[in-house]
């Protein structure tokens, strides 16, 4: 019997946490699909940024040799650069479709 379960996990930080919990609850044959809360652009962007930074940010928080405030500024700058590249590509793609 195939059973589909959908729920919103508000406590987990990482995809791995969600998969581990689902495997614990439902067994090794569980299929887990993780996606944004909704397909509204804001939720998709939030989800994407969360996936980009969470592992690295958590590592920074727990690294005793980390200078967290400096490191988080660098991570923020790197992510903003990537987002700017994506934004530029969307603008170029949109313009090419209109012209």
pLDDT of residue 60: 94
**Higher-confidence residue: 2 or 52?**
52
> How deeply is 48 buried, as exposed, middle or buried, from its count of CB atoms within 10 A (0-12, 13-18, 19+)?
middle
Query: What is the average per-residue pLDDT within 78-86?
Result: 97
Domain boundaries, given as residue ranges, for the chain: 1-34, 37-98
Q: Is the pTM of this model over 0.85?
A: no
Q: What percent of the chain has pLDDT over 70?
A: 100
| Residue 49, pLDDT above cutoff 90 | yes
């Amino acid at each position: 019997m195939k059973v589909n379960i959908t729920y919103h996990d508000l406590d987990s930080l990482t995809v791995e946490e969600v998969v581990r919990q689902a495997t614990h609850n439902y067994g090794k044959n569980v299929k887990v699909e993780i996606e944004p809360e909704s397909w509204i652009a804001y939720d998709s962007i939030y989800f994407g940024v969360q996936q980009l930074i969470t592992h690295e940010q958590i590592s920074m928080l727990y690294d005793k040799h980390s200078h967290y405030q400096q490191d988080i500024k660098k991570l923020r700058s790197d992510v903003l650069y990537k987002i700017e590249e994506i934004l530029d590509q969307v603008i170029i793609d949109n313009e090419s479709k209109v012209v």
